[in-house]
Amino acid sequence: MGILVVGTVAFDSVKTPEGEASDAIGGSATYFSAAASFYAPVDVIAVVGNDFPMASLDFLRERQVDVSGLEVKEGKTFRWAGEYAANMNDRRTIDTQLNVFSGFKPVLADRHRAHDHVFLANLDPDVQRDVLTQACRTDQSDRPGVVACDTMDFWIEGQRTSLLSTLSGVDVLIINDSEALQLVEDHNLVRAAERILELGPRAVVVKRGAHGATLCTRDAWFGIPSFPVADVVDPTGAGDTFAGGFMGYLARSGEMGVGALKRAMVHGSVMASFNVEDFSVRRLESLTQDEITDRHDRFMEMITP
């Protein structure tokens, strides 16, 4: 079973204590599909400008990623620039240029409806809901089996009503710790996760950066640390890479029970841990299945009590 991802393909200019990268390939859909491609076929829907070097996505095509849903529009590609603090956790946005991404209206083709797993990356919640509506087959009750989404402070602040409407229709919310607190206006992550479950999702995954990740469902709670990386080079895309490993595992296994969700968390963490080792998608480009398997086994030893 495959995965449909709707998100951004972008240029990132990033400065970290370990160096910098200018106009490097980034974007939520790029990171997500690079990670998920190790687990299942992926269909990408996104938009780029005609300044985008399509060859830079060849490494995705060589795996199981169909990028034919990438719309090329006259104009410039979405650009983000940011700088990370010494702790590699706090970051500051220097510049955001939406460019062709502004007014992005994804249009699903018939083949996109074949996927049972859908990831709505961090986007305008109106757009997320529109994709979800299109992803339904014959009628609105025939929806994909597992829909996950991400969001950010910008939508929580400016589009709360729309976001809540989107959340009522998704199965899994994958969200940063600070944004989980902001979403339900609480200071305690345990309470926050429980309250998010009341908004619709049957599972909440809270990403805590270098501190790990937490899964909360109505019946279960599961927490893991992050895989210990001594030399973090660039944390950009870690969250989307996590989501890629997480959804990838669920799609490959075809399961959605607590056991599968726990295993998906581990795979998400492993994929994110590779991504932070280099700028842009470089580490994901060179990554092999053997490396993933090896790190997964080591990580299991590190988290099994």
Residue from 22, 68, 87, 140 binding a copy of itself (CB under 8 A)? 87
Nearest-angstrom CA–CA distance, 204 and 217 = 7
CB atoms within 10 A of CB 205: 27
Q: Does residue number 214 form part of the binding site for a copy of itself (CB under 8 A)?
A: yes
- Candidates 168, 171, 189, 164; CA nearest to 179 is 189
Q: Does residue number 92 form part of the binding site for a copy of itself (CB under 8 A)?
A: no
Q: Which residues 183-202 are close enough to bind a copy of itself by CB under 8 A?
A: 187-191, 194
Helix (H, G, I), strand (E, B) or coil at 134: helix
Q: Does residue number 55 form part of the binding site for a copy of itself (CB under 8 A)?
A: no
Residue from 108, 196, 224, 271 binding a copy of itself (CB under 8 A)? 224
Q: Does residue number 82 form part of the binding site for a copy of itself (CB under 8 A)?
A: no
Q: Which is nearer to a copy of itself, 54 or 220 (CB)?
A: 220
Query: Which segment (66-74, 166-174, 249-257, 297-305) binds a copy of itself by CB under 8 A?
Result: 297-305
DSSP strand pairing (203-207 vs 42-49): unpaired
Site string for a copy of itself, 131-150 (x = CB under 8 A): --------------------
Cβ pair 213, 223 in contact under 8 A:
yes
DSSP string, 152-213: -HHHHHH-HHHHHHHHTT-SEEEEEHHHHHHHHT-S-HHHHHHHHHTTS-SEEEEE-GGG-E
In the complex, which residues of this chain contact a copy of itself (CB under 8 A)? 17, 86-88, 187-191, 194, 208, 210-212, 214, 220-226, 228-232, 262-263, 265-266, 300-305
